[in-house]
């Protein structure tokens, strides 16, 4: 298993938002500002990474019958840690994200990766998986936040000199979040479709008759079976039309 491939799967190919489409509630609720998107994404990445590491290390000691409660306890512990850190050092950010930080405990992304990957794989594979999924979630949240804040507020908090001469309130509301998210999905599908078309090459067969579905019947029937030989004429290609002429008389006594 390739470590780089595992990381890139979560980042792009199996992106939890654009491809798997899980964990959408928080992604649409907190993305009105770029700071919120980055904060939510990094918080999720921390909880996902630490939960996967702990569960991977103790995967052989966790009884199968109680694995789900154990997973929830581990995830809840790290969610509490990040919640207290945000309240202590980033109170404005914590207040802006509200209940969605505690709800990381039941986020489908974390529970899904813990159950399907971390509980079955060694630590060397778990770390790139968690980082790929977490950063993949983060960059999509940041992109959605960037569009919504710029169009909804007319400016960006980290670029105060750039201001639009208009504001579109729609993008600060929940329907605006759905709209921007749909645009991201559409762009992703368009890029994948264009990539697939450009990667296709015309099929050129170098096998001749061996590649033809009727090759065996032609070989079994000889030159006169369904083919158009120099001696006489045949029925439809691949058919069993009778050949006329001297060659046919010699072949059919």
Express each pLDDT in 104-153 by its tens digit.
998 889 999 999 999 999 999 999 999 999 999 999 999 999 999 989 88
Residue 41 pLDDT > 90: yes
Contact 61, 123 (CB under 8 A): no
Residue 155 pLDDT > 60: yes
Contact 125, 3 (CB under 8 A): yes
Contact 131, 49 (CB under 8 A): yes
Give the length of the chain: 253
Contacts of 178 (CB under 8 A, 6+ apart): 28
| 114 inside domain | yes
| 36 inside domain | yes
Residue 245 pLDDT > 90: no
How remote is the C-alpha of 164 from its chain's centroid? 33
Specify the pLDDT at position 231.
45
Residue with tokens 């061996």: 210
**Rounded average pLDDT over 213-238:** 48
| 247 inside domain | no
Quick check: helix, strand or coil at residue 28? Answer: helix
**Rounded average pLDDT over 177-205:** 80
**Strand positions, DSSP E, the chain:** 155-156, 159-163
| 71 inside domain | yes
Number of domains, the chain: 1
14-28, 184-198, 217-231: which has the minimum mean pLDDT? 217-231
| 54 inside domain | yes
pLDDT class for 63, splitting at 50, 70, 90?
A: very high
pLDDT class for 216, splitting at 50, 70, 90?
A: low
Domain that holds residue 134: 3-138
Specify the pLDDT at position 219.
53
Q: What are phi and psi of 35, to 5 degrees?
A: -60, -40
| 167 inside domain | no
Residue 76 pLDDT > 70: yes
């Amino acid at each position: 298993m390739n470590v780089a491939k595992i990381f890139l799967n979560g980042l792009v190919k199996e992106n939890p938002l654009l491809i798997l489409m899980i964990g959408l509630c928080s992604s649409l609720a907190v993305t009105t500002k770029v700071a919120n998107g980055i904060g939510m994404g990094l918080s999720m990445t921390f909880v996902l990474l630490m939960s996967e590491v702990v569960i991977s290390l103790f995967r052989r000691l966790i009884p199968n019958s109680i694995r789900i409660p154990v997973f929830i306890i581990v995830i809840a512990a790290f969610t509490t840690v990040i919640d207290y850190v945000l309240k202590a050092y980033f109170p404005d950010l914590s207040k802006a994200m509200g209940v969605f930080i505690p709800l990381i405990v039941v986020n489908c992304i974390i529970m899904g990766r813990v159950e399907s990957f971390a509980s079955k794989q060694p630590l060397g594979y778990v770390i790139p998986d968690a980082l790929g999924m977490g950063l993949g979630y983060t960059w999509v949240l940041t992109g959605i936040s960037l569009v919504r804040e710029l169009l909804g507020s007319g400016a960006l908090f980290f670029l105060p000199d750039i201001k639009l001469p208009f504001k579109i309130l729609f993008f600060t509301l929940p329907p605006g979040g759905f709209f921007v998210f749909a645009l991201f999905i559409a762009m992703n599908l368009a890029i994948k479709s264009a990539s697939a078309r450009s990667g296709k090459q015309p099929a050129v067969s170098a096998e001749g008759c061996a590649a033809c579905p009727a090759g065996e019947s032609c070989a079994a029937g000889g030159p006169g079976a369904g083919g158009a030989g120099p001696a006489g004429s045949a029925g439809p290609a691949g058919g069993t039309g009778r050949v006329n002429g001297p060659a046919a008389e010699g072949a059919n006594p």
